[in-house]
Amino acid sequence: MKIKYWMTKDPITVTPNTLVVEAQKIMKDNKIRRLPVVEKGKLVGIVTFRNLMEAAPSSATSLSIYELNYLILRMKVKDLMKKNVIIVSPEDTVIDAISLGMEHDIGGFPVVDDKGVLVGIVTETQISRAMMQLFGTNVKEEIIHLENVDIQAGTFGKIVAEAEKMGATIISLFSVPKRSTDLMRLYLRIKPGDRTKVVEGLKKAGYDIEE
């Protein structure tokens, strides 16, 4: 599942010389929390809603309220933006974005093509929707939990064939490694129906079902 199918194309952007107060209004009016900063067609930074909210000078300053307001009104995006931006490619996968997000503790990414041109932005909400579709969690389902599965060539096919023989409609099947063994834990997602019959069939076929 590639980023290009989930990203927002042609995102709203600002330039380094955009005033902070203007950037705040753009975010508020469009209900967004990130603005890529673009100069001459290339991504040069990103500014977030949090950056803008932290823009006010410290309360410990000796400046008067009039001087503070003057400074805030003249402040530009280039004074606050993050320059070393973590980006993704349109050809990267959703899993790539999740890994980057966990590594850098961020939830959204500008999407830049191989020419360095900003082509989109992808947020944590879009990534979550992609994962819901990938694992079938956006539909009604029943889950059958198989323990201690020795995955070899054809293992998934055999499990799916056995479940379908019992009348199951498969939504997805994925595996999770176990810590102390090379065996795997599998989760078979099926549409609601005769789960009992499917479980009995898998047990007869020699699979360990966790009830």
| Residue predicted with more confidence, 192 or 121 | 121
Among 68, 98, 133, residue at a domain's last position: 133
Question: pLDDT at position 71, please?
Answer: 66
The neighbouring-strand residues paired with 14 are 37
Which residues are CB-contacts of 101 (< 8 A; sequence separation ≥ 6)? 107, 109, 124, 127
**pLDDT for residue 179 is more than 90:** no
Same domain, 101 and 158: no
Query: Per-residue pLDDT averaged across 47-54, rounded?
Result: 84
Neighbour order of strands in the sheet with 118-122: 8-9, 118-122, 109-112
Same domain, 107 and 77: yes
Question: pLDDT at position 59, please?
Answer: 46
Among 109, 133, 157, residue at a domain's last position: 133
Same domain, 123 and 188: no
Same domain, 121 and 25: yes
Query: Per-residue pLDDT averaged across 162-180, rounded?
Result: 82
**pLDDT for residue 44 is more than 80:** yes
Q: How far apart are CA 159 and CA 164, in angstroms?
A: 9
Q: How far apart are CA 200 and CA 186, in angstroms?
A: 16
Query: Per-residue pLDDT averaged across 11-40, rounded?
Result: 93
Percent of the chain predicted with pLDDT > 90: 34
- H-helix segments, the chain: 20-30, 49-53, 65-74, 94-104, 124-135, 155-165, 195-204
Same domain, 109 and 155: no
**pLDDT for residue 88 is more than 90:** yes
**pLDDT for residue 155 is more than 70:** yes
- Which CATH number does the domain housing residue 201 bear? 3.30.70.260
Q: Are 82 and 71 in contact (CB under 8 A)?
A: no
Q: Positive or negative, the Cα torsion across 97, 99, 104, 105?
A: positive
Same domain, 64 and 108: yes
Same domain, 70 and 169: no
- Which CATH number does the domain housing residue 97 bear? 3.10.580.10
Task: State whether residue 159 is helix, strand or coil.
Answer: helix
**DSSP secondary-structure letter at 127?**
H
Q: How many domains does the chain have?
A: 2
For 95-150, the pLDDT digits (tens) are 888 888 888 888 889 999 988 899 999 988 888 777 767 665 555 778 888 888 88
Same domain, 150 and 122: no
For 51-79, the pLDDT digits (tens) are 877 765 544 455 555 565 666 677 899 98
Q: To the nearest whole number, what is the mean pLDDT of the chain?
A: 84
Question: pLDDT at position 14, please?
Answer: 96
Same domain, 118 and 150: no
Same domain, 56 and 81: yes
Domain range for residue 101?
3-133
Determine the distance from the C-alpha atom of residue 208 to the mean position of all C-alpha atoms in its chain, rounded to a whole number. 33
Same domain, 147 and 84: no
Same domain, 12 and 102: yes
Question: pLDDT at position 37, please?
Answer: 96
Among 114, 133, 152, residue at a domain's last position: 133
